[in-house]
C-alpha cells in the first residue's frame, strides 16, 4: 500500500485546496460558496439546464444540489421554470442579478487566474489540464 501522503486522491484534494486559495477570498467577499459558484459558472457556460444536467456538469450529488439551488434562488441568482414541452421538467437559468455578478467580478477572477498561472507556469498548467482530462476518462 502506498504511503498516506502519496495517495492520489489526497494529492488531488491538496491541489484543489492550493488552487482554491486564489479564488476563495473573492467568493467569500461576494457571499458565494464554491459549490454555488460552480453552479453559476455551469449555467453561464451551458445556459438553461435541468437539475440532473447541472449536477453532472458540476460534480455535485443531486441531494446537495437541491439545497444549493434553493439558496441561489433565495439570493436572486437563479430562476426555475417548467418546461413548455413537458411540465414534469424544471429548467434552471441565471437571473439578471447573476449576470451582473459575473460582469462585476470577472476582472478579479481573471486577475486571480493570472496570478495562479504566473506562479505555477502556463506550460505546466496546460500539461496538468491535459493529464487531469486523461485521468477523468479512465474507466475501472
Q: What's 39's domain CATH number?
A: 1.10.10.10
What's the confidence (pLDDT) of residue 43?
A: 98
Among the listed residues 81, 86, 96, 85, the one whose alpha carbon sits nearest the alpha carbon of residue 49: 81
Q: Would you say residue 16 lies in a domain? A: no
Would residue 63 count as lying in a domain?
A: yes
Q: Taking Cα atoms as reference points, which of 99, 90, 112 lies closest to residue 41?
A: 99
Range of 71's domain?
23-98
Q: What SS3 state is found at 132?
A: helix
How far apart (Å, rounded) are the C-alpha atoms in residues 74 and 105?
20
What's the structural domain count of the chain?
A: 1
Residue 40 inside a domain? The answer is: yes
Closest alpha carbon to 37 in 13, 81, 71: 71
Cα(78)–Cα(47) distance, rounded to whole angstroms?
Answer: 11
Residue 60 domain-assigned (yes or no) = yes
Residue 84 included in any domain: yes
Q: What pTM was estimated for this model as a whole?
A: 0.89
State the pLDDT at residue 30: 96
Give the per-residue pLDDT at 83: 80
Instruction: Tell me, yes or no, whether 130 lies in a domain.
Output: no
Residue 71 within a domain: yes
- pLDDT value of residue 132: 95
Residue 125's pLDDT is what? 96
Distances in whole angstroms, Cα of residue 49 to Cα of each of 15, 65, 84:
29, 13, 14
Sheet with 90-94: strands ordered across: 49-50, 90-94, 78-82
**Rounded-to-integer distance, Cα 121 and Cα 1, Å:** 32
Tally of CB atoms within 10 A around 13:
11
Q: Which residues of the chain have pLDDT under 70?
A: none
Q: Give residue 86's pLDDT.
A: 82
Amino acid at each position: 500500500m502506498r504511503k498516506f501522503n502519496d495517495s492520489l486522491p489526497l494529492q488531488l484534494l491538496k491541489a484543489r485546496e492550493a488552487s482554491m486559495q486564489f479564488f476563495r477570498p473573492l467568493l467569500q467577499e461576494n457571499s458565494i460558496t464554491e459549490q454555488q459558484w460552480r453552479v453559476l459558472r455551469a449555467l453561464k457556460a451551458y445556459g438553461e439546464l435541468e437539475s440532473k444536467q447541472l449536477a453532472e456538469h458540476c460534480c455535485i450529488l443531486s441531494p446537495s444540489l437541491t439545497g444549493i439551488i434553493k439558496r441561489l434562488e433565495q439570493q436572486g441568482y437563479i430562476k426555475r421554470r417548467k418546461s413548455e414541452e413537458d411540465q414534469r421538467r424544471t429548467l434552471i437559468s441565471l437571473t439578471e442579478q447573476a449576470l451582473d455578478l459575473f460582469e462585476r467580478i470577472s476582472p478579479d477572477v481573471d486577475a486571480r487566474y493570472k496570478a495562479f498561472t504566473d506562479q505555477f507556469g502556463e506550460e505546466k498548467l496546460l500539461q496538468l489540464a491535459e493529464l487531469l482530462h486523461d485521468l477523468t476518462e479512465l474507466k475501472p
